[in-house]
Structure 1
Amino acid sequence: MVISQRFTDNEPSGAIKGHEVDITLNIDRPYPPVLRRPAYPASPRAREALEKHIQELIQFGVLRNVGHNEKVEVTTPVIIAWNNDMSRMVGDFRALNTYTVPDRYPIPRIQETLTQFSGAKYITSMNALKGFHQNVLTPKANKLLRIIIQCGIYEYLRM
């Protein structure tokens, strides 16, 4: 088996072309006019990691900086989760989750999915490390998925 290309950590993470899915969040009851939660305190080390993650996500088109003159009704604080000196940014969306309607759809069965590959001439791979930022959000969902850290407010464009 020959691997023609290896993935790197600094590859652009764009949405998969031709398979865009607009993600919308359905709200089942009115939420408070302002559901703004403050940023969580962060150590200097965590703050540096947060800013690095934010800048990377902006560079890849996953986040955008929310301007000072924009109306902001919903903000969600984020934290850094550490694992062996590796950091991961995690949003605390629990307050928003209490107002959203969960999607109900069947989970695909692995065997059925693998059967679809039978007879395939080519099998390709995708960098699953950044695979979760592939789906484009609707403008309404963008406004609900705003995160806050000490240095600003940012809006998710993809999920």
Structure 2
Amino acid sequence: MNSRFTMAAHIVAMLAKCSAKAEGPLTSEVMARSIQTNPVVVRRLLGDLARSGLIETKRGARGGVTLARGPETITLRDIYESVEEGELFGRHPVGPAPDCTIGPCVAEYLEGVFGRAEAALKKSLEGTTVAQMSEELEARFRALNPSLEQSG
């Protein structure tokens, strides 16, 4: 797995926060600054998220990106499956040598291990909604910044 899922989760968390505060759409430039990446990277992720029906984009002066669904209906698995391609674990690129006595057994064994690990990851991600993640992030922010809570 690369950083695409992490960046996409960051994007969706930002959109959920804006939605909860009725702040309106965000631009890819704002998101890119928050993630510390190029807006082109963010736009590619936004394309994947839009194709999955998780976000909506609007062009123009008052345009930007918003969630297409409520954060309580979007899971981390939805985000993961929107932006991650291929398998979580890399397989042997060409397979074991035909004359290797243990190679086929190792590959078969690892398929089972990888399959269970991938299923566990997806089940874990499925158990967390963006709304839950947003609540936990807000609680962590308040715990780290108690003086801001009193002024806000």
Decide which structure has greater strand share.
1
- Structure ranking higher on relative contact order (CA contacts 8 Å, 6+ apart): 1
TM-score above 0.5: no
Q: TM-score, normalised by structure 2?
A: 0.22
